[in-house]
Amino acid sequence: MIYKLSNDAGKEEIEQEFGIPFRYPNLYTPNPIINGFHEINLSVVTMEEPNRISLAIWGLMPQDFKEDWHIFQDNANTLNVKVSELEDIDWMQESFEQRRCLIIVTGFYTHLLENGNTCSFYIHQANNKPFYLAGTYNTLNDGFLCTALMVDKTDTFLTKYHNISNLCPVIIPKAMAMEWLNQKATRSELEEIIQKPKDWKLKAKRLSNEFFLNHITSDTQHLPLIANSQD
């Protein structure tokens, strides 16, 4: 599982890379360590609004959920959602079929068990540009969005840097973005996108044992000031 992401790209860099604007540009702040165990936002592109970048709380909750984020996450950690869960749990299946999204990151953190110790790595593109991860989302009772990172089995490259679990994020190539968000996409078409081998030029940077202790996770993206309601 993956519980820490990174998005340290500037607003202009992200908008230029993907060719779409932020819905609320003044609310976006780069964050090198996005800790999912805090109530924090991710930048997402949704099926509902494929031409704008929105904000969503990291941690999927049922559609129209009324209670607090902490209440739900204390009972069910939904930062990551396995593909099998999207088939077996009704409310997650409905989210996957009707509300998929693309999560914008510049990288994510993995952990390797090695000689009785753990070491951490930062996985990013060789060109250091932002990229998309597969996600699913719901809209809460107050209008805010919430999202989960979709995970699947690690590939050959990531296995060398992540063996705490055998699950890692699903990367969606920019060229396949609209296919992923297509409302008419069939289950088999979506599964093909998930499972299709991708020619990614990824790099892994080994981190010091003190890395996360020396970097205090920013809470500037704690919550948007306004809900993602329709204009």
Confidence at residue 197, expressed as pLDDT on a 0 to 100 scale:
66
Residue 223 has pLDDT above 90, yes or no: no
The answer to whether residues 121 and 63 touch, using CB atoms and an 8 Å cutoff, is: no
Residue 224 inside a domain? The answer is no
Residue 194 inside a domain? The answer is yes
Tell me what the pLDDT averaged over the chain comes to.
88
Share of the chain above pLDDT 70, in %: 92
What is the total count of domains within the chain?
1
Which range is least confidently modeled, 1-10, 122-131, 213-222?
Answer: 213-222
Averaged pLDDT, 114-130 = 92
pLDDT confidence band for 205 (50 / 70 / 90): very high
Residue 114 inside a domain? The answer is yes
* DSSP label at residue 124: E
Residue 231 inside a domain? The answer is no
CATH code of the domain containing 156: 3.90.1680.10
Residue 220 inside a domain? The answer is no
The pLDDT tens digits of the residues spanning 144-189 come to: 999 999 999 888 888 899 988 889 999 999 999 999 999 999 988 9
Residue 61 inside a domain? The answer is yes
Residue 28 inside a domain? The answer is yes
Residue 223 inside a domain? The answer is no
Confidence at residue 216, expressed as pLDDT on a 0 to 100 scale:
57
The pLDDT tens digits of the residues spanning 10-59 come to: 999 999 999 999 999 999 999 999 999 999 999 999 999 999 999 999 99
d(CA 136, CA 92): 8
Range of the domain at 149: 4-214
* DSSP symbols for 71-99: HHHHH---SEEETTHHHHSHHHHHHHHH-
